Amino acid sequence: MRSALFRSFIPAIHLLSPKTLTLAPLVPRSFTSISRPMAGPEGESMASPSPLSMEKQFEGFRANLEESSSLRERIRVVAAEMESVTRIMHSNLLLVHQSLPISEVLEKAAGQIEKLKGLYGRLAEILHECPGQYYRYHGDWRSETQTAVSLVAFLHWLETGNLLAHEDAEKKLGLGDSEFGLDIEDYLIGICFMSNELPRYVVNQVTAGDYDSPRKVLKFLTDLHAAFRMLNLRNDFLRKKFDGMKYDLRRVEEVFYDVKIRGLSPVDAAQEQTQQT
Protein backbone atom coordinates (compact mmCIF):
# COMPACT_ATOMS: atom_id res chain seq x y z
CA MET A 1 0.00 0.00 0.00
CA ARG A 2 2.91 2.36 0.79
CA SER A 3 4.40 1.78 -2.67
CA ALA A 4 1.09 2.66 -4.33
CA LEU A 5 0.88 5.95 -2.46
CA PHE A 6 4.51 6.75 -3.31
CA ARG A 7 3.91 6.11 -7.04
CA SER A 8 0.87 8.37 -7.04
CA PHE A 9 2.83 11.14 -5.31
CA ILE A 10 5.74 11.32 -7.76
CA PRO A 11 3.74 12.51 -10.82
CA ALA A 12 2.20 15.22 -8.73
CA ILE A 13 5.65 16.70 -8.01
CA HIS A 14 6.53 16.77 -11.70
CA LEU A 15 3.37 18.72 -12.47
CA LEU A 16 4.66 21.66 -10.43
CA SER A 17 6.57 24.16 -12.53
CA PRO A 18 9.74 25.80 -11.25
CA LYS A 19 7.93 29.12 -11.12
CA THR A 20 5.20 27.89 -8.77
CA LEU A 21 7.62 26.08 -6.46
CA THR A 22 8.99 28.60 -3.89
CA LEU A 23 10.83 27.87 -0.70
CA ALA A 24 10.67 29.98 2.46
CA PRO A 25 13.98 31.65 3.24
CA LEU A 26 15.93 30.20 6.11
CA VAL A 27 16.16 32.65 9.01
CA PRO A 28 18.48 32.02 11.96
CA ARG A 29 16.75 31.48 15.31
CA SER A 30 18.75 34.25 16.94
CA PHE A 31 17.13 36.83 14.64
CA THR A 32 13.61 35.58 15.11
CA SER A 33 13.93 35.79 18.91
CA ILE A 34 14.66 39.55 18.87
CA SER A 35 11.05 40.48 18.38
CA ARG A 36 9.93 38.38 21.35
CA PRO A 37 9.86 40.12 24.77
CA MET A 38 12.09 38.59 27.43
CA ALA A 39 10.30 36.56 30.04
CA GLY A 40 10.73 36.95 33.78
CA PRO A 41 11.17 34.17 36.31
CA GLU A 42 7.44 33.43 36.26
CA GLY A 43 6.91 33.93 32.58
CA GLU A 44 6.06 37.63 32.92
CA SER A 45 7.28 40.16 30.42
CA MET A 46 10.42 42.10 31.39
CA ALA A 47 9.87 45.03 29.11
CA SER A 48 11.47 48.39 30.03
CA PRO A 49 9.41 50.61 32.35
CA SER A 50 7.57 53.39 30.68
CA PRO A 51 8.87 56.96 31.04
CA LEU A 52 5.84 57.81 33.19
CA SER A 53 6.53 55.05 35.74
CA MET A 54 10.22 55.99 35.87
CA GLU A 55 9.35 59.63 36.46
CA LYS A 56 6.92 58.64 39.22
CA GLN A 57 9.60 56.57 40.96
CA PHE A 58 12.20 59.35 40.93
CA GLU A 59 9.61 61.88 42.01
CA GLY A 60 9.14 59.73 45.10
CA PHE A 61 12.92 59.68 45.63
CA ARG A 62 13.04 63.47 45.40
CA ALA A 63 10.28 63.94 47.97
CA ASN A 64 11.90 61.41 50.31
CA LEU A 65 15.34 63.07 50.13
CA GLU A 66 13.89 66.55 50.67
CA GLU A 67 12.00 65.35 53.73
CA SER A 68 15.13 63.67 55.13
CA SER A 69 17.23 66.79 54.49
CA SER A 70 14.70 68.99 56.27
CA LEU A 71 14.61 66.62 59.24
CA ARG A 72 18.41 66.46 59.42
CA GLU A 73 18.64 70.25 59.37
CA ARG A 74 16.29 70.51 62.36
CA ILE A 75 18.37 67.92 64.22
CA ARG A 76 21.59 69.83 63.53
CA VAL A 77 20.09 73.01 64.93
CA VAL A 78 19.39 71.23 68.23
CA ALA A 79 22.85 69.59 68.16
CA ALA A 80 24.48 73.02 67.78
CA GLU A 81 22.61 74.24 70.88
CA MET A 82 23.76 71.12 72.74
CA GLU A 83 27.36 71.87 71.82
CA SER A 84 26.99 75.40 73.18
CA VAL A 85 25.58 74.13 76.49
CA THR A 86 28.31 71.49 76.91
CA ARG A 87 30.96 74.14 76.22
CA ILE A 88 29.58 76.29 79.05
CA MET A 89 29.35 73.27 81.35
CA HIS A 90 32.95 72.32 80.58
CA SER A 91 34.19 75.82 81.35
CA ASN A 92 32.31 75.65 84.68
CA LEU A 93 33.90 72.33 85.59
CA LEU A 94 37.37 73.62 84.73
CA LEU A 95 37.07 75.86 87.81
CA VAL A 96 37.47 72.74 89.94
CA HIS A 97 41.19 72.89 89.12
CA GLN A 98 41.41 76.27 90.81
CA SER A 99 41.15 77.22 94.47
CA LEU A 100 37.40 77.80 94.41
CA PRO A 101 34.77 76.24 96.70
CA ILE A 102 33.84 72.87 95.21
CA SER A 103 30.15 73.34 96.03
CA GLU A 104 29.97 76.55 94.01
CA VAL A 105 31.63 74.90 91.00
CA LEU A 106 29.31 71.90 91.09
CA GLU A 107 26.22 74.08 91.41
CA LYS A 108 27.09 76.09 88.31
CA ALA A 109 27.81 72.99 86.25
CA ALA A 110 24.68 71.15 87.44
CA GLY A 111 22.53 74.02 86.20
CA GLN A 112 23.43 73.11 82.60
CA ILE A 113 22.12 69.54 82.92
CA GLU A 114 18.50 70.69 82.86
CA LYS A 115 19.20 72.60 79.66
CA LEU A 116 20.67 69.47 78.09
CA LYS A 117 17.65 67.47 79.22
CA GLY A 118 15.34 69.96 77.50
CA LEU A 119 17.34 69.79 74.27
CA TYR A 120 17.22 65.99 74.26
CA GLY A 121 13.45 66.30 74.70
CA ARG A 122 13.26 68.44 71.55
CA LEU A 123 15.43 65.94 69.75
CA ALA A 124 13.14 63.08 70.79
CA GLU A 125 10.11 64.94 69.41
CA ILE A 126 11.81 65.29 66.03
CA LEU A 127 12.78 61.61 65.93
CA HIS A 128 9.22 60.54 66.74
CA GLU A 129 8.31 61.83 63.26
CA CYS A 130 10.48 59.08 61.74
CA PRO A 131 10.09 56.02 63.98
CA GLY A 132 12.62 53.25 63.56
CA GLN A 133 15.29 55.51 62.01
CA TYR A 134 17.29 56.40 65.14
CA TYR A 135 20.63 55.23 63.76
CA ARG A 136 20.05 56.92 60.41
CA TYR A 137 20.44 60.33 62.10
CA HIS A 138 22.43 59.25 65.16
CA GLY A 139 25.70 60.64 63.83
CA ASP A 140 24.33 64.20 63.82
CA TRP A 141 24.34 64.44 67.64
CA ARG A 142 26.66 61.58 68.65
CA SER A 143 29.72 63.71 69.41
CA GLU A 144 27.69 66.10 71.56
CA THR A 145 26.22 63.16 73.50
CA GLN A 146 29.66 61.70 74.23
CA THR A 147 30.83 65.08 75.54
CA ALA A 148 27.67 65.47 77.62
CA VAL A 149 28.15 62.02 79.19
CA SER A 150 31.78 62.80 80.07
CA LEU A 151 30.83 66.06 81.78
CA VAL A 152 27.87 64.62 83.68
CA ALA A 153 29.99 61.62 84.74
CA PHE A 154 32.81 63.89 85.96
CA LEU A 155 30.33 65.99 87.90
CA HIS A 156 28.84 62.84 89.43
CA TRP A 157 32.30 61.59 90.40
CA LEU A 158 33.17 64.89 92.07
CA GLU A 159 29.96 64.65 94.11
CA THR A 160 30.08 60.95 95.04
CA GLY A 161 33.48 59.50 94.10
CA ASN A 162 31.71 56.76 92.13
CA LEU A 163 31.10 55.95 88.48
CA LEU A 164 27.91 57.26 86.88
CA ALA A 165 25.92 54.21 85.76
CA HIS A 166 24.48 54.01 82.25
CA GLU A 167 20.92 53.98 83.57
CA ASP A 168 21.56 57.05 85.75
CA ALA A 169 23.12 58.88 82.80
CA GLU A 170 19.97 58.22 80.77
CA LYS A 171 17.79 59.62 83.55
CA LYS A 172 19.91 62.74 83.99
CA LEU A 173 19.77 63.48 80.25
CA GLY A 174 16.13 62.46 79.82
CA LEU A 175 16.90 59.56 77.50
CA GLY A 176 14.81 56.81 79.07
CA ASP A 177 12.55 56.43 76.00
CA SER A 178 12.85 53.01 74.35
CA GLU A 179 12.81 54.72 70.94
CA PHE A 180 15.50 57.23 71.93
CA GLY A 181 17.94 55.97 74.56
CA LEU A 182 21.63 56.42 75.33
CA ASP A 183 23.77 54.33 73.00
CA ILE A 184 26.13 52.08 74.99
CA GLU A 185 29.18 52.97 72.91
CA ASP A 186 28.46 56.68 73.37
CA TYR A 187 28.29 56.11 77.11
CA LEU A 188 31.60 54.19 77.17
CA ILE A 189 33.38 56.80 75.05
CA GLY A 190 32.06 59.51 77.35
CA ILE A 191 33.48 57.65 80.36
CA CYS A 192 36.86 57.43 78.60
CA PHE A 193 36.74 61.20 78.04
CA MET A 194 35.96 61.68 81.73
CA SER A 195 39.05 59.72 82.76
CA ASN A 196 41.21 62.20 80.82
CA GLU A 197 40.31 64.90 83.37
CA LEU A 198 41.47 62.93 86.41
CA PRO A 199 45.30 63.22 86.09
CA ARG A 200 45.09 67.00 85.89
CA TYR A 201 42.65 67.03 88.79
CA VAL A 202 45.05 64.98 90.94
CA VAL A 203 48.03 67.23 90.22
CA ASN A 204 46.08 70.37 91.10
CA GLN A 205 44.65 68.81 94.25
CA VAL A 206 48.12 67.84 95.49
CA THR A 207 49.33 71.35 94.73
CA ALA A 208 46.45 72.67 96.83
CA GLY A 209 47.49 70.40 99.73
CA ASP A 210 45.08 67.46 99.30
CA TYR A 211 47.58 64.60 99.55
CA ASP A 212 44.93 61.89 99.87
CA SER A 213 43.41 62.65 96.47
CA PRO A 214 45.93 60.53 94.46
CA ARG A 215 45.05 57.42 96.46
CA LYS A 216 41.30 57.86 95.86
CA VAL A 217 41.65 58.60 92.17
CA LEU A 218 44.11 55.76 91.66
CA LYS A 219 41.72 53.24 93.20
CA PHE A 220 38.83 54.51 91.05
CA LEU A 221 40.83 54.46 87.81
CA THR A 222 42.27 51.02 88.56
CA ASP A 223 38.78 49.58 89.06
CA LEU A 224 37.47 51.36 85.97
CA HIS A 225 40.35 50.13 83.80
CA ALA A 226 39.81 46.55 85.04
CA ALA A 227 36.09 46.79 84.22
CA PHE A 228 36.82 47.97 80.66
CA ARG A 229 39.15 45.02 80.15
CA MET A 230 36.14 42.73 80.46
CA LEU A 231 34.80 44.10 77.15
CA ASN A 232 35.66 42.81 73.70
CA LEU A 233 35.89 46.19 72.02
CA ARG A 234 35.31 46.08 68.25
CA ASN A 235 34.80 49.80 67.75
CA ASP A 236 38.19 51.20 66.66
CA PHE A 237 37.54 54.65 68.11
CA LEU A 238 36.37 53.24 71.44
CA ARG A 239 39.35 50.88 71.63
CA LYS A 240 41.71 53.80 70.99
CA LYS A 241 40.10 55.82 73.77
CA PHE A 242 40.34 52.87 76.13
CA ASP A 243 44.04 52.52 75.29
CA GLY A 244 44.45 56.15 76.33
CA MET A 245 42.99 55.33 79.76
CA LYS A 246 46.11 53.38 80.75
CA TYR A 247 48.18 56.54 80.26
CA ASP A 248 45.80 58.41 82.57
CA LEU A 249 46.26 55.61 85.09
CA ARG A 250 50.04 55.76 84.77
CA ARG A 251 50.13 59.52 85.37
CA VAL A 252 48.02 59.17 88.51
CA GLU A 253 50.27 56.33 89.73
CA GLU A 254 53.33 58.57 89.35
CA VAL A 255 51.74 61.29 91.44
CA PHE A 256 50.63 58.76 94.07
CA TYR A 257 54.09 57.21 94.40
CA ASP A 258 55.71 60.63 94.53
CA VAL A 259 53.44 61.65 97.41
CA LYS A 260 54.03 58.32 99.14
CA ILE A 261 57.83 58.52 98.85
CA ARG A 262 57.83 62.00 100.30
CA GLY A 263 55.77 60.79 103.26
CA LEU A 264 52.91 63.16 102.53
CA SER A 265 50.15 60.58 102.29
CA PRO A 266 47.67 60.98 105.21
CA VAL A 267 47.19 57.21 105.37
CA ASP A 268 50.90 56.57 105.80
CA ALA A 269 51.17 59.36 108.35
CA ALA A 270 48.28 57.92 110.36
CA GLN A 271 49.81 54.45 110.29
CA GLU A 272 53.18 55.78 111.41
CA GLN A 273 51.58 57.72 114.26
CA THR A 274 49.70 54.59 115.36
CA GLN A 275 52.91 52.57 115.43
CA GLN A 276 54.66 55.20 117.53
CA THR A 277 51.90 55.23 120.10
Average pLDDT of span 50-78: 88
Burial 91-115 (b: 16+ CB within 10 A, else e): ebbebbbeeeeeeebbebbbebbeb
pLDDT for 268: 60
Task: Determine what percent of the chain is predicted with pLDDT higher than 90.
Answer: 57
pLDDT for 242: 93
> 270 or 223: whose pLDDT is higher?
223
Cα R_g (the chain), whole angstroms: 39
Q: What is the pLDDT of residues 7-55, one digit of tens each?
A: 544 444 444 444 444 444 544 444 444 445 555 555 555 566 677 788 8
pLDDT for 151: 98
Q: List C-alpha distances in Å: 261 to 201, 206, 216.
A: 20, 14, 17
How confident is the prediction for the chain on average, in pLDDT?
A: 83
Beta bridge partners of 39: 45
Q: List C-alpha distances in Å: 267 to 146, 209, 230, 270.
A: 36, 14, 31, 5
> 275 or 246: whose pLDDT is higher?
246
Name the pLDDT band for 147 (thresholds 50, 70, 90).
very high
> 15 or 57: whose pLDDT is higher?
57
pLDDT for 228: 96
Average pLDDT of span 132-148: 92
- CB atoms closer than 10 angstroms to residue 1: 5
96-100, 180-184, 235-239, 248-252: segment of lowest average pLDDT: 96-100
pLDDT for 9: 45
Name the pLDDT band for 98 (thresholds 50, 70, 90).
confident
pLDDT for 18: 47
**Helix (H, G, I), strand (E, B), or coil: what is residue 43?**
coil
Q: What is the pLDDT of residues 170-215, one digit of tens each?
A: 999 999 776 789 999 999 999 999 999 999 999 999 999 999 999 9
> 232 or 150: whose pLDDT is higher?
150
Range from 60-69, 82-91, 173-182, 263-272 that averages highest in pLDDT: 82-91
**Helix (H, G, I), strand (E, B), or coil: what is residue 192?**
helix
pLDDT for 193: 97
pLDDT at 250 over 80: yes
pLDDT for 171: 95
